[in-house]
Each structure stands twice: as structure tokens, then as C-alpha cells.
Amino acid sequence: MKAILCTSFTGPGDLRLGEIDEPKPAGDEILIDVHAASVSFMDQLVVSGLYQMRPPTPFVPGTEASGVVVAVGDEVTGFAPGDRVACSAWTGGYAERMIAKDSKCVRLPEGVAFEAAATVLHNYGTAYYALVERARAQRGETLFVTGAAGGVGLAAVDLGRHLGLRVVAGVGSDDKAALVQSYGASEVVNYRSEDLRGRIKAITADGIDIGFGTVGGAIFEQMARSMKWGGRLMPIGFTSGEIPQLPMNLPLLKNYSILGVFVGAWAEKFPADAARMNATLMQLLAGGKIRPHIDRVLPLEEAGEAMRAVANRTVQGRIVLKIR
């Protein structure tokens, strides 16, 4: 079968389309005919050797996909051949067929397209876990999102709107403002050209209730100095490539919490809870309560180009690879 192969951790430029054997599902796994797969910042970090885990090479990248069940393992009871599903896995999505654990799969409601379904579990799963499970967000609170036009950031804006939060979107260029506003941001801050702390103070008066940080670096540090008493500051990722170092007197003086958010590890440790969250997200998608933004749809062989676009920050929302 056709698949994109990563043979060394040298980045998207060295990915190649090749032929590999069809994977075989273990007892708790399902085999899926992949129709669509999304391209995330995490995917390009993995193939570049910059993620915290390195799969043995050669491997097929791709952490999120959707398609139709072909076969199930002996221990699987919740899925059957012919089911339309979305799934997540550490690798394997950029191929004609992939395997995923049944606990990381969710059945698609009627009418949900494969392309949209392939963009939900990682983006909206991260946002939901952060805002609902970790921050316990309350209607009317102020949420500040960095990297707000990216895949995870835009999901946080969209979900924050759905939860009744006041959403302030942080972006790195003015051309992203219209998109985040259309997804529910009441205010937009360009932290590349504006004084971030000054703008947050002007917008909120007493600071941020929930800080959703996808960028890291100096932007996260400025956000940490703009938190409200009793707020929740969440490191989600570090797309700037810089992991911030924070003076611990900041959370001490305002009694705010720093909450780590690693939804992939949580899903491994609490698979039943993660499965319930995935089912909730699919119902929100089917009901039009959340609206994944697809920047463009590309064929499988352009996976490397898609990853380069993600790395260069020219993507708003998600790129999807159409495989069938």
C-alpha cells in the first residue's frame, strides 16, 4: 500500500512516498481505510527529530485521520467493519491504511465529512482537555489564546466561544485577525507589533482568567505577567522553539495556577475518559457547535509541502491530506 515514509529525522524535505506492507491490528486495535489525515505542528516536529518521542525509523508520520473500519482485533467490541471513524495515533496516518487502538477511535455521526473529522481529535481534544478538564472554565471568564489562528489555537477560540468565554486572540500578523474574529474572538492582539501586556491591561483591566499558551518563549512570559488573581495559566506547546523560564513569584503573588496540558499522555493514562471526550466532540461537530477550519486539502504525496507550510506559519487552521 502507498504511504509517506520518514527514514531519518531530517525534516519534511526528506519525506518520500513509498510502498509498505499493510499493518496488522493487534487485539485492541482496528484497521482503517484512511480517507483523510490532518497535518499538525506536532507531525513536523516528529519528522524533524524535535519532539519528545522518536519512533524507530522508517515510520509513517501522521497522528490523526479518518476513514472506514476494515478489520478489528479479537478484543474489540465497539467497532465493526464498515464503521466510519476518526482516530488518533502517534504515527501511521499518512497511508492508505493505518491501525489505531479502539480507545482512540470514535464513530462519526451521520453527515460528518471525513475531511472535517480528521481535524477534531487533536485540535479540539487539546482545547477541550485544557479548558474543560484542566482549567474548569466558567462562562464569562476571559480566555487569552496565543497562536490563535493555528490548528489548536483556533480550536480554543472556537470552543471558548461555545463555552461562553470572553475570548482574546493573540496572533503574529494582522492578516489572521479576520479569521479569529469570525470564530468568536472579541478582541485581537498582534503580539509582534503591539505591546502585549499593555493591550491586555487595556482590554481586561484586571488581567486574564485563563491563559492558553501554544507559542512559548517571551510571549508566554508576558502572558504570565498579565494573569488575574486566581487565574489558570496553561503551557500547551512551544511553537517558537523556546521553552520559557518563569519566576515563581509571579503565580505566588496572584495566587494563580500553572496547569500542564498534554492531552496525548492523559488519553494514554485515562482511555475511557478520553473516549468520552472524543464522543462529545463529534456530537458538537455534528450539531454545528464547533467549526474546524480547513486551510487547504492536498493529495498524500504533498505531505512534505504541507508540513513546510505548517512550519513556516502560513497555515490557518489545518491542512488535510485527502487519501481516498
The pLDDT profile of the chain, 324 residues, written as one tens digit per residue, is: 999 999 999 999 999 999 999 999 999 999 999 999 999 999 999 999 988 889 999 999 999 999 999 999 999 999 999 999 999 999 999 999 999 999 999 999 999 999 999 999 999 999 999 999 999 999 999 999 999 999 999 999 999 999 999 999 999 999 999 999 999 999 999 998 999 999 999 999 899 999 999 999 999 999 999 999 999 999 998 888 889 999 999 999 999 999 999 998 999 999 999 999 999 999 999 999 999 999 999 999 999 999 999 988 889 899 999 998
Q: What is the largest CA-CA distance in the chain?
A: 59
pLDDT digits (tens, 9 = 90+) for 225-269: 999 999 999 999 888 888 999 999 999 999 999 999 999 899 999
- Whether 153 and 172 have beta carbons less than 8 Å apart is answered as no
Show Cβ contacts of residue 8 under 8 Å, excluding neighbours closer than 6 positions.
Answer: 14, 57
User: What does pTM read for this prediction?
Assistant: 0.92
For residue 175, give the DSSP letter: G
pLDDT digits (tens, 9 = 90+) for 182-211: 999 999 999 989 999 999 999 998 999 999
As a whole number of angstroms, the distance between CA 190 and CA 146 comes to 10
**Residue 130 CA, distance from chain mean position:** 11
As a whole number of angstroms, the distance between CA 58 and CA 7 comes to 4
Q: Name all domains of the chain by residue range, CATH numbers in brackets.
A: 2-119+292-322 (3.90.180.10), 124-263 (3.40.50.720)
Helix, strand or coil for residue 88? strand
As a whole number of angstroms, the distance between CA 213 and CA 153 comes to 9
Specify the amino acid at residue 268: E
Count of CB atoms situated within 10 Å of the CB of 244: 18
Does a cis peptide bond (omega within 30 degrees of 0) precede residue 58?
Answer: yes
Helix, strand or coil for residue 54? coil
- Whether 213 and 169 have beta carbons less than 8 Å apart is answered as no
